[in-house]
Structure 1
């Protein structure tokens, strides 16, 4: 046996603890691995995640796959209403533009609006929910009555009203969707905040002098984030559908190409009465598929992050 094998470990090396950052990284890595093991058990969630990655990669690669000059009304490469062919797999529109190029380019706007509108909605809903759940009293009463007022109003009608009043732009669509879709998140986050603040360690933190900001940021927010994450994936699908609806009604940005704008152009061109089915199916199918992928991911996340749903499986 070598000398290194016979020599016992020194007390210093035995009592030496790992650095706090290394321990925190190890815990996060273990938590992510455990999360992924639970997530991949849900086959529908894996399929949704694969489809979502495909759509995101397609949107990111759109400038490399499509020449923006061919999307202009004067630089169209084909003739109007060409059916699907080898040159144009999805046919052409009423201006002779390739519908495949339009669908690929439109994914950038639709996904961007979906993500940013959801970010606005989730941020606003989480802020209202945490404040209402933490402060209680008149603060919670005022915030919840405002939330109830937004819940009573139809989301789509309110978004249409905002988009009609404000200037027609992509930012307007994002704001219109974001400020109308937050009440559901606010109610869910408030319920979770009340459950978290009823735990003993919150009372211990208050007894040790923890202020409102410390309680909400260090204790409440990390515990409501799983719920917020699952809600986010579900809201993105709704935001994309709402954006497509606003664009279809002519309330979107007329200078950008999105899936809803393609459908709106098809409606104005009379594609439905003319029987030009290839003008309608590709953008509509893209909207349905991306909404389905986000819904599958959201349901899978909800099953992983909710212990009660995990036990039922």
Structure 2
């Protein structure tokens, strides 16, 4: 008597949400595999992770009392020593602690200003590329006006007429650095909307919101991500510049604010190099790290750029 082999029970079909998660995991794994081939990008990412850990653990390792002027542990403008590895400022505060604590403000302002800038640019770029006509013409002329105007001058003007606070710095940088993103996103939107599936979506009754959110936005997100990493470095430099000019929040410690304090204390003329070099190097390294990460991300998402590894 022979028995027929029964086939194994068919596995249950995965839900659309599970399939979407699986595709995202595969995309992330493929992105990381390609990103690892960029040595400069890995160097930038390592530096950013290190600075992020330093900033996040600052309340535990340094403490907020490092900002206190009345309880300063050292004398004014002491040179580097075993007790103060980077010396002290004009109030006797440890410069090492101030540089570490200032990383929190500089990184936060740079990140939020870049997010605001990219959000404005992406919104204007997508809507101008989708609707076109007189609406796109008006938006692009406004964008052109912002492009030809010096960004730093506009940011200084906004920071001057508004109250001196971190929110003012973020707003001043964000609303003056979005035109490049808007131009890039609009060009990508026009390319996406020329594809056949957009016509099919319109024929099936897809509205403007559906097409922009479900078809255009996912296709421009890689460009937005790459642009964000590139703008963060510019935002950090802009924050340092505004703080150096005395337009930052005087109640918080930032790298640009330390440079402004060094200038007021006469560190340049008196040769107190330890007051200028540490925050300047920190700004340069973080800006370079974000730029290297941005170039690597851009190269992975758009291999035709042929960025050198």
TM-score (norm 2): 0.96
Q: Secondary structure at the match of 1:280?
A: helix
- Structure 1: stretches of 5+ with no match in the other structure: none
Change (3 A) 1:311 1:117: closer
CA RMSD of aligned residues (A): 1.4
Partner of 2:228: 232
Post-superposition offset of 1:65: 1.4
Partner of 2:76: 80
Post-superposition offset of 1:26: 1.2
Partner of 1:30: 26
**Structure 1 CA distance for aligned equivalents of residues 193 and 40 of structure 2:** 34
**Structure 2 CA distance for aligned equivalents of residues 70 and 133 of structure 1:** 50
Contact 2:198 2:211 (8 Å CA) reproduced: yes
**Structure 1 CA distance for aligned equivalents of residues 107 and 176 of structure 2:** 18
Work out whether 1:155 is the aligned partner of 2:155. Answer: no
**Structure 2 CA distance for aligned equivalents of residues 134 and 41 of structure 1:** 36
**Structure 2 CA distance for aligned equivalents of residues 229 and 70 of structure 1:** 35
Work out whether 1:47 is the aligned partner of 2:11. Answer: no
Change (3 A) 1:312 1:170: closer
Post-superposition offset of 1:8: 2.1
Q: Which of 81-90 and 124-133 deviates more?
A: 81-90
> Deviations along 1:205-250, whole A, 9 cap, x unmatched?
0000000000000000000000000000010000000000000000
**2:205 aligned to 203, 209, 212, which one?**
209
> Deviations along 1:187-213, whole A, 9 cap, x unmatched?
000000000001110001000000000
Change (3 A) 1:311 1:81: closer
Number of aligned residues: 306
Work out whether 1:65 is the aligned partner of 2:61. Answer: yes
**Structure 1 CA distance for aligned equivalents of residues 254 and 160 of structure 2:** 18
**Structure 2 CA distance for aligned equivalents of residues 24 and 310 of structure 1:** 30
- Could you list the runs of 4 or more consecutive aligned residues of structure 1 that deviate by over 6 angstroms after TM superposition? none
**Structure 1 CA distance for aligned equivalents of residues 78 and 106 of structure 2:** 25
- Structure 2: stretches of 5+ with no match in the other structure: none
Work out whether 1:272 is the aligned partner of 2:271. Answer: no
Change (3 A) 1:141 1:281: same
Contact 1:304 1:310 (8 Å CA) reproduced: no
Change (3 A) 1:134 1:41: same
